[in-house]
């Protein structure tokens, strides 16, 4: 497995913030069960080598520093979210209910094949909100597609698939879909009304632009309605 993302500058800055000498940092790491010479710490801080996952976790503990700070990035991939939460694959896989080899393969291939239950446990373990979870497991496009079909057709038949996708209650999802379907219908009514009235093209283009913007933010609007997102203007 490749080394985790690591920022030498952030590691050095974290050590200096709490006023520790390199010798004190490696001593603290040794108390955590990871014995490393001072020279290794200096190599990490210079960027000559990068720490392993175990070394990254121990260094973060020794520096009283969150792991994401030492990674110096906003977690986006499944592996990055796992690292940010301080999990090894060997610890997380059994918690999710997967064989370690299957879990590691999912990380390496960027393809999640877990069951609905495993997916919900993964979200809980990594603290992922629904929108982020769908992005991490590569199913954000599925949400967009289902929502588009729901608002443009018979929304009721999409209640169960969307509830399962989000791990949400069907009643909550149904209420959200009803609202979105009504909002979409109003766009169509306005457009057809102006079309029948033979309004100028400028007004028709304005309505079409508003509808396009609404569809672009459809997932965010839906997640807000089911209680997972701050409100977005409609």
Contacts of 123 (CB under 8 A, 6+ apart): 130, 133, 167
Structural tokens at position 152: 């443009």
The answer as to whether 232 is a domain residue is no
Boundary of a domain, candidates 109, 136, 163: 136
The answer as to whether 101 is a domain residue is yes
Structural tokens at position 95: 């918690």
The answer as to whether 207 is a domain residue is yes
Nearest 5°: phi and psi at 163? -65, -40
Which of the residues in the chain have pLDDT under 70?
1, 191, 193-200, 228-234
The answer as to whether 56 is a domain residue is yes
Query: How many CA atoms within 13 Å lie on the side-chain side of 109?
Result: 9
Q: State whether 159 and 212 are in the same domain.
A: yes
The answer as to whether 104 is a domain residue is yes
Q: What is the pLDDT of residues 104-160, one digit of tens each?
A: 999 998 888 888 788 889 989 999 887 788 888 887 788 888 999 999 889 999 999
Domain of 65, CATH number, reads: 1.10.260.40
Structural tokens at position 228: 């997972």
110: containing domain: 78-136
The answer as to whether 128 is a domain residue is yes
Look at the chain and report how many structural domains it folds into. Answer: 3
């Amino acid at each position: 497995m490749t080394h985790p993302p690591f920022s030498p500058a952030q590691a050095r800055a974290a050590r200096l913030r709490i006023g520790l000498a390199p010798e004190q940092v490696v001593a603290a790491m040794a108390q955590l069960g990871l014995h490393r010479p001072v020279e290794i710490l200096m190599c990490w801080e210079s960027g000559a080598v990068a720490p392993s996952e175990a070394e990254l976790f121990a260094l973060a503990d020794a520096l009283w520093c969150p792991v994401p700070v030492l990674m110096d990035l906003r977690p986006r991939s499944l592996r990055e979210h796992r690292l940010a939460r301080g999990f090894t694959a060997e610890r997380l896989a059994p918690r999710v209910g997967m064989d370690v080899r299957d879990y590691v393969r999912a990380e390496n291939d960027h393809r999640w094949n877990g069951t609905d239950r495993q997916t919900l446990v993964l979200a809980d373990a990594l603290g992922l909100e629904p929108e982020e979870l769908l992005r991490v497991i590569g199913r954000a496009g599925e949400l967009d597609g289902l929502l588009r079909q729901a608002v443009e057709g018979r929304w009721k038949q999409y209640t169960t698939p969307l509830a399962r996708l989000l791990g949400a209650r069907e009643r909550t999802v149904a209420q959200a879909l009803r609202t979105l379907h009504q909002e979409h219908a109003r766009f169509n009514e306005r457009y057809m009304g102006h079309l029948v009235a033979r309004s100028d093209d400028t007004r028709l283009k304005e309505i079409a632009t508003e509808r396009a913007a609404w569809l672009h933010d459809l997932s965010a609007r839906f997640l807000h309605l089911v209680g997972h997102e701050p409100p977005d203007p409609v």
